Amino acid sequence: MADVMTDVAGLRRQVRGRVVAEGDAGYDEARAVHNGMFDKRPLVVLHAETAADVVAGVNFARENGLDLAVRGGGHSAPGFGTTDGGVVIDLEPMHDVKVDTATQTADVGGGATLAQMNDGAHAFGLATTGGIISTTGVGGLTLGGGIGYLTRAFGLTIDNLRSADVVLADGTQVTASEREHPDLFWAIRGGGGNFGAVTSFKFQLHPVKEVFAGPIFYNLEDLPAVFRMFDEFITDAPEQFGGFPAIQIAPPLPFIPENRHGDPMALVVVHWAGPLDEAEAVLKPFREVAPIVADGAAALPYPALNGAFDAIFPKGIRAYWKAAFVKELPDEAIAIHKRFGATLPNVSSTMHLYPINGAAHRVDAGDTAFAYRDAKYGMVILSAGPDAEGDASRRQWVRDYYDALTPYSEPGGYINFMQDDDAGRVEDNYRQNFDRLVAVKRTYDPHNLFHLNQNIKP
Ligand SMILES: Cc1cc2nc3c(=O)[nH]c(=O)nc-3n(C[C@H](O)[C@H](O)[C@H](O)COP(=O)(O)OP(=O)(O)OC[C@H]3O[C@@H](n4cnc5c(N)ncnc54)[C@H](O)[C@@H]3O)c2cc1C
């Protein structure tokens, strides 16, 4: 240990970013990740400011035989952005977003959040596929695939990735693209953080400025009609439509009648990224399918909806997740959604069925590591709360719900919606792409330095 402590002093001298160790001011803040269930004590947290800092951190972990956690936004459900006794490379200071309007691309730092990426691109009337909570890291979201409101219009986030700068396990840095290290470029598009630390992403952007979007709440008894309509609608809906059906306890928001706050409800978050004057016509089926309890859909800037639900999942909330891909939504599955809708534990518990058809289906399953190009939905079930005492019952609700849906779900799920107890499903998540991922892992990280992820073992 004495040697490692000497090395920590050396690391501090070597890097530009702040190195925070046990006993230093700010240690508790530096070690915290989004999911409050993971309360770990790293040896050091390196707030990397440059790619050279990342190289130094990678070399430090490898040479000292220490566990290495690479943290983008810190949102990982299994708390992969922290580790006991090891090294955390926190990329948060590397969050610059530089837009090139001529090529409609953006260079986005490996530690940027979706808010930073969306705001940076929005200034130029541009956007690319991101997620639904603005504090999520671009890093982890992209490397796992990236599902969001624009998936049907422009594909997954990885379908918009043009290149990435990656620090490898041996401390070298490479650019991965279709032309340079194409095997690595293939693997990081869905293979998670298994292959290196990405210091910068280059994304294709698209003209998206104002959208018509927001949540529409229905009585839970109407869930079967709403979900059935959605499933039929989304099969061939215009690709600029990118919302999702869900279950949710009505939060105390001004547009929801006060006497309905706290009631479990069916919900569709609608999102229309086409011409605003076409929105009402496109959304007609949502207005007609059943009586509407509360309608929060309106014209708004693209980044706005991305921040609208942040308060439901604040940093430190204790969350448990389960996920599966879904190809069909039969009445039996819809009945299960209604049944579990009636027992939602709290306002931070939900199920979302994200459509991943449209443009995402036009990419072949072998073109990127993301294997389920034939799935219609990426489903996530999650329950979160502030208190440790509630962990067990919330976890049980998620597991019971997930188990009930097993006959109607695929064996694999989206790696970014999985918990630590899903490590055994990695092969299922990648199906026909798994062996190729193992081969790329052997080439770029044969000793599994980058293992705090849904791990692909070399
Ligand atoms: C409230 C909430 C809402 C979400 N909504 C969506 C959504 O709408 N769509 C969606 O697709 N996902 C969503 N997710 C899931 C999200 O994509 C994953 O949690 C993702 O892993 C978060 O990335 P991060 O960088 O914030 O997390 P981190 O915990 O920092 O990292 C997650 C994993 O990615 C690796 N990683 C992160 N950045 C880098 C990098 N630059 N280089 C190398 N490895 C890196 C880490 O090592 C770790 O293994 C949501 C998550 C939460 C908590």
Q: What is the pLDDT along the chain (458 residues), one digit of tens a residue?
A: 447 777 899 999 999 999 999 999 999 999 999 999 999 999 999 999 999 999 999 999 999 999 999 999 999 999 999 999 999 999 999 999 999 999 999 999 999 999 999 999 999 999 999 999 999 999 999 999 999 999 999 999 999 999 999 999 999 999 999 999 999 999 999 999 999 999 999 999 999 999 999 999 999 999 999 999 999 999 999 999 999 999 999 999 999 999 999 999 999 999 999 999 999 999 999 999 999 999 999 999 999 999 888 988 999 999 999 999 999 999 999 999 999 999 999 999 999 999 999 999 999 999 999 999 999 999 999 999 999 999 999 999 999 999 999 999 999 999 999 999 998 999 999 999 999 999 999 999 999 999 999 999 99
Residue ranges of domains in the chain, CATH in brackets: 2-90 (3.30.43.10), 97-207+432-444 (3.30.465.10), 210-421 (3.40.462.20)
Q: How far is the CA of 76 from the centre of ligand 1 (A)?
A: 5
Distance (Å, whole) CA 413 – CA 186? 19
Atom of ligand 1 nearest to the CA of 198: 42
Residues with CB under 6 A from ligand 1: 34, 70-77, 80-81, 91, 110, 131-133, 136-137, 139-141, 143-144, 146-148, 192-193, 197-198, 313, 416, 452-453
Does the pTM surpass 0.95? The reply is yes
Atom of ligand 1 nearest to the CA of 133: 3
Q: Choose which residue among 416, 454, 455, 456 to substitute to test ligand 1 binding: the one with the highest number of ligand atoms within 8 A of its C-beta.
A: 416
Distance (Å, whole) CA 303 – CA 114? 9
Q: Choose which residue among 55, 116, 135, 141 to substitute to test ligand 1 binding: the one with the highest number of ligand atoms within 8 A of its C-beta.
A: 141
Over the chain, what HEC string results? CHHHHHHHHHHHHHCCCCEEECCCCCHHHHHCCCCCCCCCCCCEEEECCCHHHHHHHHHHHHHCCCCEEEECCCCCCCCCCCCCCCEEEECCCCCCEEEECCCCEEEEECCCEHHHHHHHHHCCCEECCCCCCCCCEHHHHHHHCCCCCCHHHHCCHHHHEEEEEEECCCCCEEEEECCCCHHHHHHHCCCHHHCCEEEEEEEECEECCEEEEEEEEEEHHHHHHHHHHHHHHHHCCCCCECCEEEEEECCCCCCCCHHHCCCEEEEEEEEECCCHHHHHHHCHHHHHCCCEEEECCEEEEHHHHHHHCHHHCCCCCEEEEEEEEECCCCHHHHHHHHHHHCCCCCCCEEEEEEECCHHHHHCCCCCCCCCCCCCCEEEEEEEEECCHHHHHHHHHHHHHHHHHHHHHCCCCCCHHHCCHHHHHHHHHHHHHHHHHHHHHHHHHCCCCCCCCCCCCCC
Q: Residue 115: name the closest of 299, 305, 306 by CA.
A: 306
Distance (Å, whole) CA 337 – CA 153? 27
Q: How far is the CA of 133 from the centre of ligand 1 (A)?
A: 11
